[in-house]
Amino acid sequence: MNNSALDDLSINTIRFLSADMVQKAVSGHPGAPMGAAVMAYVLWQKFLKHNPADPAWTNRDRFVLSAGHASALLYSLLHLTGYDLSLDEIKQFRQWGSKTPGHPEHGLTPGVEATTGPLGQGFGNGIGMAIAERWLAARFNKPDHTIVDHYTYAICSDGDLMEGVSAEAASLAGTLRLGKIIYLYDDNNITIEGNTSNYFSEDVGTRFRAYGWHVIGPINGMEINEVEAALAEAHEETEKPKLIICRTVIGYGAPTKANTGAAHGEALGEAELAAAKKNLGWPYTEPFFIPEEVRRNMSAVEAGKSGQAQWQSIFDAYTAVYPEEAVKFKSFIDGKLPEGWNEGVEAMFKPADKPLATREASGKAMNLLGKKVDNLIGGSGDLAPSTKTVLEFDTIFGAGNGAGRNLQFGVREHAMGAICNGLALHGGVIPYCATFLAFYDYMRPPVRLAALQGLRVIFVYTHDSIGLGEDGPTHQPVEQILGLRSVPGLVTLRPADAAETAVSWEMAIERRDGPTALVLTRQKVPTIDRSGMSDVGLIRKGGYILWQSDADPRVIIIGTGSEVHLALEAGKKLKDMGISARVVSLPSWEVFDSQPEAYRNEVLPPQTWRRITIEAGRSLGWERYAGPRGVIIGLDHYGASAPGNIVMEKLGFTAEHVIQTAEYLSRQGDG
């Protein structure tokens, strides 16, 4: 069989292995794999640097299927090139317990670089991966030794490019001149509703050229030679990210469904699939059939092992010349923290210090930690002076400076989150990003995906309540804290003072199995004098007894953030009034709820029903801590524009209100 015939046979194998998956499941998206098989085959067969035997090889190229609905295409490629993804798993596409879920899931399927499906997210992830590659290269490569040198590829769809997050991310990528990005745009002009001419008629190439990308095409994405030539051209351009516009036919080969919305999101049907196989000269009637010559042709195992071995010899030579740098590089990649990384952090704030907003304390703690954790990298959505998230001792990452640790995302919260996920997915860095808490809503999808993938990303949210004051209800978050707490796998920390903030940063940095959200004040709060009180280190349990008048309190007051100070003031006044009280700081529901029952009962004894919770946000959810007869002091409507202390007072967030509530509860019978 000549090379051309073998290429065609391999491409059809990808098409029909994918279509057979969808048909057996009677669920999925066959059209995109059938149309994009040529571009995927050429990329994986002739350009992609990877090792199926070691999917985590550091210097591999990254491939992101941003069009995650085409997951069957990716599973076909992974199986055929030799990843640990068996044919039995392929046959269990979209079934319970399989490694071939409906959309790609990072950490579940070997070789899947990112969890994709929500359109545009993978596009942004790839930008983060390219930033990580450039930063690590600038940090570790030497003139005579290059140990970081790889590309980030993606296949994106019409839907990806309609989503606003891709526009945000593309604009930043062009500005940063991320030349190691090569994206293949599967331009088939079809989405679920049919032809895109009614709702997506823009000149994509012109748009991306305006962003600063090198655009190739449109080319015929169904022709091997054109795709190969375009990818070769993309490698010659080193200064700009590349977009290759590939005109394709969705559902290629299907006689009645090709080039229609019907090919997008449902099985072709037995008759249509059989006709498609006949149209494309596929002689095999058995589903999931893989010709042996295709297996031999597409296996990347030996080439991958050879490529990685060659890189390892380069790294060994690097180690001999730069041993300290090599050790640091490996520690970065392994996600380890240096010896003594958090020394002095817990003692950096004193009660005698002037009152400090927790956003300011956060900035100081972050800067102290960042000097030792020197792969902590990030920035804000054009709010660094307000969120206090500048690493003051370092430079700004940019087109001319790949070594800077301060990222300027611009006013692009959605892309910022997706890019930080990409940074974490790439590995070697610990990313953080920041904005006002009210703007969390702009970046919910990447926060959710960070949690879903268990990514080590730190989300910093400042201006955390109505206490921010004059900017008014558009900027005063009310429901956002509840929104953060509702995300499975996300740890949310709302520290009460500078001391708790410092420990919160430690917790966020050392957490390796998921993202952390830090929720911080704009208004200044004193550092609590903990003389005779519980040690601030107990914040690591998510909630703890901060202060109590005796061991058998009649009233328990539970607070978070700046409201803990109101609780503490009220508790001490209640003591003077003869009402025994306990004040509990509860900065993290998730961490507290994960503690042993005995500890939780020690902090919040079940028999003590007189409980008051206080937080300047939605009351929903606080029932679990207030109990059926407790009182929740919260905010179930929006705020107002006025000085922060006035807004807090007018809306009931005062020590006097807490005291009145405690007195009311104290008068209730014990029955």
Binding residue per annotation — 134?
A: no
Q: Is 359 annotated as a binding residue?
A: yes
Residue 283 burial (10 A CB sphere; 0-12, 13-18, 19+): exposed
* DSSP three-state, residue 378: strand
Is 475 marked as binding a ligand? yes
Distance, CA of 658 to CA of 648 (rounded, Å) = 13
Q: Is 69 annotated as a binding residue?
A: yes
Q: Which tokens belong to 416?
A: 């910022």
Calpha distance 635→621 (Å, rounded): 12
Beta bridge partners of 247: 187, 220
**Is residue 117 a known part of a binding site?**
yes
The phi and psi torsions of 377 (rounded to 5 degrees) equal: -140, 140
Query: Which residue carries 């993978």 as its tokens?
Result: 122
Helix extents (H) in 177-223: 204-211
Q: How far is CA 512 from CA 45, 184, 588, 603, in A?
A: 34, 32, 17, 27
Would you call 189 exposed, middle or buried from its count of C-beta atoms within 10 A (0-12, 13-18, 19+)?
A: middle
**CA angle in degrees (0–180, nearest 5) for 95-13-257:** 75
Rounded CA gap, 566 and 338, in Å? 38
Q: 235 a known binding residue?
A: no
Distance CA 73, CA 29 (A): 9
Return contacts of 530-534, CB within 8 angstroms, 24+ apart: 530/351, 530/499, 531/351
- The answer to the question of whether 50 is labelled as a binding residue is no
- Annotated binding residue at 463? yes
Note if 413 is an active site residue: yes
Side-chain half-sphere exposure of 613, counting CA atoms within 13 A: 26
Is 29 assigned a ligand-binding role in the annotation? Answer: yes
Please give the full DSSP string across 611-632, using - where no structure is assigned.
EEEE-SS--TTTHHHH-TT-EE
Choice among 133, 163, 226, 413 that is catalytic: 413
Residue 241 known to bind ligand: no
The DSSP call for residue 537 is G
118 among annotated binding-site residues? yes
Amino acid at 108: L
Tokens linked to 31: 């059209």
Residue 434: name the closest of 426, 425, 424, 443 by CA.
443
DSSP E strand stretches across 162-273 = 181-187, 190-191, 194-195, 214-220, 242-247
Residues annotated as catalytic (active site), given as ranges: 413
The annotation places the binding site at 29, 69, 117-119, 158-159, 188, 190, 264, 359, 386, 439, 463, 471, 475, 522
The annotation places the binding site for thiamine diphosphate at 69, 117-119, 159, 188, 264, 439
The annotation places the binding site for Mg(2+) at 158, 188, 190
The annotation places the binding site for substrate at 29, 264, 359, 386, 463, 471, 475, 522
